Structure 1
Amino acid sequence: MKVLLSGALNPRFEALPEYLASALARLGHEVTLFDHRAFLLPGRLRSRHPALQRFDRSRLNARLLRTVRRLRPDLLIVNQGTVLTRCTIEEARASGVRCVNWFSDFPAEFEQGLAVAPAYDAFFLASSFAAARHREAGLHQSFWLPFACEPETHRPDRDVDSRAPRPGDVPEVVFVGSHYPERQVLLRFLRDLPVGVWGPGWERAADDPHVRPMIRGGALRPAAWRRLYAGCRVALNIHYGSFGPPDASGDLANTRVFEILACGAYQVVDRQGDILRLFKDGEHLALFSSGDELRARVEEALIDEGRRRDVARRGREEVLARHTYADRARALGGASAAGFTRQGGAPGPPRAAVPPSAPAGERARAGAGRGSR
């Protein structure tokens, strides 16, 4: 099948579009990439001059349609891509191309997604909460499709015994992610533990006496954070909007949930509804609902090496069995709405493209309010 994949491409930072393209190619599809962020004019200039913004957006839409006419793909997959208008997608569909969107970011551009979704044959969202909102709005071609891992990239160190000593520059406990206030607050609960933090914006925490000793560096390429996850004892994951309302966090399982598990690390992550719909607490990873529980989960993992290794092994087996980009590519490229199963756990349950691992009794979100940190 000929696939045209439109995404925000960054040669310095591989992400979902690149992983999905690789998976599609391995499945035997002919894949062409289109960068729908390849604006002619700088963003600061476009933001000051609406006419220039309209010109550049129109140019990108026209370029996509020219590409569709030239390639005649069987399938157009758009990742987010609100720069592409309803008219553009409708024109592509009118030419016989099946058009689907994997709308992966939340809450970014949620309202724009609602507006453009009817133009697509199918509209997939990484958050079950967001998919439920779509279906409540009458958008019955919207489905929940969580993130995934790329096994060739997200993997343990090859030919290294997991019992071997860690590399000297890898802390026992690792957090990789951008600075957000809720993350800083939660990391304070880990003061005096062997924690290393990397990511953009952490210089804003330089005056925090509890967090400052943890800060190791800024943004990392995937190869660098993969090495950290593969070499650490505990990998921390704290979602944007952690313990806030679902319309802030989407109740979703972020990309790190899948990537950390695939790297073979023991993951300690804040409790989110979609995580419980996909994985089992204590079997595949460890969940926390407060700062005190975060510290307890980390300390338990550092003490009990056998349990830590068993949970990490089962987590990796589960993510590779059900949650790779090849699995998601099959859903995007071949599945129809009739093939999806109903998934509970969210108001106005969305249809899901993946089976849950957790039993129904574990799916209720047991999060805590912001004051519990």
Structure 2
Amino acid sequence: MKIACFSASPIMKYGLMPGFEKNGEETKIFPMACMGDEMVTLELDGQVIRVPYTEQDKINSYIDKCIARYGPDYVILEGYQGELALGISMACEKYGCGFIYWSIEDPVGFARTLPIAKMADIVFTTALECIREYRNQGIQAHLLMFGCNPEFHRSGVYRPQCDLDFAVQASWYNFASRIEGFNILLKPLLGLGYKYRIWGYNWDSNPQARAFLGDNEDHFAGIFPNEKLPDLCASARIILGFQCDSSSITQTSMRNYEVLSCGGFYLCQYTKASAYIFREGTHLELVRDKEEAVSKVLFYLAHDQERIRVARLGQEYVHRRHSYEVRVSEDVLPYIERRASIRETAKIRELRI
């Protein structure tokens, strides 16, 4: 099969799309990068075209041309990308492709992305609990959790500039669970004299985030390239983890899998999903309150071998059980191959008629 997508986000470029390739499927990414108020489109006759969001017709036309030329069996879209969904839906219907939507922001983003899910032929969600919600909307959804790509999310190289007691690669979002995690896990560590850096979106632009950092604003270091995550995990002794949802037993931050896959020691905000999918003290460590945050940081900074042991076991676990190769093989292909078979049967019937 030929699988196309219009997002060069790290989760697609380094995660799910290589997972399809590992299963013998052909893939093509037509990257459309968001830059301020513009949509930057690439790989169309060697030209870079910048189109404002308001010019939906031009975006739709670009998508139409790409799908017409490549002729995919399926086009997959993930996350909050409503500006692409309409064009993909129309082109897929026009050219007989299947439209797959991966709702990676569930459950907190369910209402916002439901209109996209309604356009799709096949829907996957990271939250098991949302499957019933989709069913109530007349949508048959399937579980597809985050994962890792061991060829990309691998053990990195030590970098002196990332030699830190702990590091944060997480954006500031005003979700209740996320803010609770910052208050429980990060806040009590800020004034204890540790070497640390914070990377991510919104820390310098969100008033609530700036107030949270207070006198520690100089520890914010901008946006950290995802391509350098392996080296960060090889250099910082602890990577802190934060979650946008605490209600689901399957929805976690994608960092849970990526940091472990890179061999990093992951000290994570406790959620049902992190406790359900991973073994505390074996694959990662979980924190429930401020006192536990401080005590576990003190312990693991003082016990290198324990920290290394947990990181090693966590890496082995996600490589074995949670790679995108496994995700695609077990959680995606059975559903899209079944749909492809149904479509082929329908075509044969049409020919007979």
* 1:107–1:250 Cα contact (<8 Å) kept: no
Whole-Å separation in 2 of the counterparts to 1:168 and 1:72 = 46
Matches within 5 A, 1:124-135: 124-135=124-135
Residue equivalent to 1:174: 167
Whole-Å separation in 1 of the counterparts to 2:336 and 2:74 = 16
1:65-100 CA deviation, whole Å, 9 max, x = no partner? 333233221222222332244685265246432321
Whole-Å separation in 2 of the counterparts to 1:61 and 1:331 = 32
Residue equivalent to 1:228: 232
Residue equivalent to 1:284: 283
Residue equivalent to 1:218: 222
| 1:256 matched to 2:255 | yes
1:316-353 CA deviation, whole Å, 9 max, x = no partner? 111111222223333575222899xxxxxxxxxxxxxx
Give the unaligned 5+ runs of structure 1.
Answer: 44-51, 161-165, 340-373
Compute the TM-score of the two structures, normalised by the length of structure 2: 0.75
Give, as a single letter, the amino acid of the residue that structure 2 aligns with 1:178. Answer: S
Give the unaligned 5+ runs of structure 2.
Answer: 40-51, 174-178, 339-353
Whole-Å separation in 1 of the counterparts to 2:227 and 2:180 = 26
Whole-Å separation in 2 of the counterparts to 1:104 and 1:131 = 13
Deviation >6 Å, runs of 4+:
38-41, 204-211
Residue equivalent to 1:347: none
* 1:267–1:286 Cα contact (<8 Å) kept: yes
Residue equivalent to 2:326: 327
1:243-300 CA deviation, whole Å, 9 max, x = no partner? 6xx4xx8972111111110111221111222223321222211111222222222222
User: For 2:146, what is the secondary structure of its paired residue?
Assistant: coil
Whole-Å separation in 1 of the counterparts to 2:56 and 2:289 = 44
**How far does residue 213 in structure 1 lie from its aligned partner after superposition?**
8.0
Give aligned pairs, total. 313
Residue equivalent to 2:13: 18
* 1:151–1:320 Cα contact (<8 Å) kept: yes
Whole-Å separation in 2 of the counterparts to 1:167 and 1:225 = 14
* 2:143–2:331 Cα contact (<8 Å) kept: no
Measured at CA, do residues 132 and 296 of structure 1 come closer, stay the same or move farther in structure 2, by a change above 3 Å?
farther
Residue equivalent to 1:105: 105
| 1:271 matched to 2:270 | yes
Whole-Å separation in 2 of the counterparts to 1:212 and 1:39 = 29
* 2:63–2:87 Cα contact (<8 Å) kept: no
Whole-Å separation in 1 of the counterparts to 2:213 and 2:3 = 51
User: For 2:325, what is the secondary structure of its paired residue?
Assistant: helix
More helix per residue: 1 or 2? Answer: 2
1:180-219 CA deviation, whole Å, 9 max, x = no partner? 5545533221231524122244456677688718815121
1:131-170 CA deviation, whole Å, 9 max, x = no partner? 443234342x212211112222222236x8xxxxx84751
Give, as a single letter, the amino acid of the residue that structure 2 aligns with 1:33. Answer: I
RMSD, aligned α-carbons? 3.5
Whole-Å separation in 1 of the counterparts to 2:89 and 2:212 = 48
1:31-66 CA deviation, whole Å, 9 max, x = no partner? 2212455799737xxxxxxxx855x22332233233
Whole-Å separation in 1 of the counterparts to 2:321 and 2:309 = 19
Whole-Å separation in 1 of the counterparts to 2:284 and 2:227 = 22
Whole-Å separation in 1 of the counterparts to 2:90 and 2:38 = 28
